[in-house]
Amino acid sequence: MKVLLQRVAEASVAVASRTIAEIGPGLLALVGVFPDDGMAEADWLADKTLNLRIFPDASKPMNRSVLEVGGAILVVSQFTLAADLSRGKRPSFGGVAPAEQAERLVEAYAAGLKASCADVQTGRFGANMRVALVNDGPATFLLER
């Protein structure tokens, strides 16, 4: 699994021109799933997301976690993170997890976040989503497991 984390001032997801999720300060988590991924990856990535020290405090620009700052998390499935770009000019999606597996693991990742974080929102799996964000920093981190 891959999770692309972006520290945001705000973020939202719309489907069919209707906002279905929105957060204030916190993290936007774009999640890609591979065929070999399972619950161990989802659990590890949820823990890492919750405890990664990427928010500022009075002494350091990256010293607090999303939990410590009381931030929110917006989780959006993004199968394109699992694309193979090694050959040619067009992405290959042959190595992307099947939809049922991917949906289950994205939901498990979100559930792992919700166990500790009070404000976790999600996009709609498989939908054509419009994601809006104001990147804070900018600060963007790629987690892989």
Residue 80 among the catalytic residues = yes
The amino acid at residue 96 is V
Write down the catalytic residue from 79, 125, 140, 141: 79
Active site residue 79: yes
What is the distance between the alpha carbons of residues 58 and 55, in angstroms, rounded to a whole number?
A: 10
Tokens representing residue 39 in the block: 């619950």
Alpha-carbon span 32 to 80, nearest angstrom: 7
Instruction: Verify whether residue 34 is a known catalytic residue.
Output: no
Residue 48 phi, psi (nearest 5): -65, -45
Catalytic choice (6, 34, 55, 78):
78
Q: Which residues are catalytic?
A: 78-80
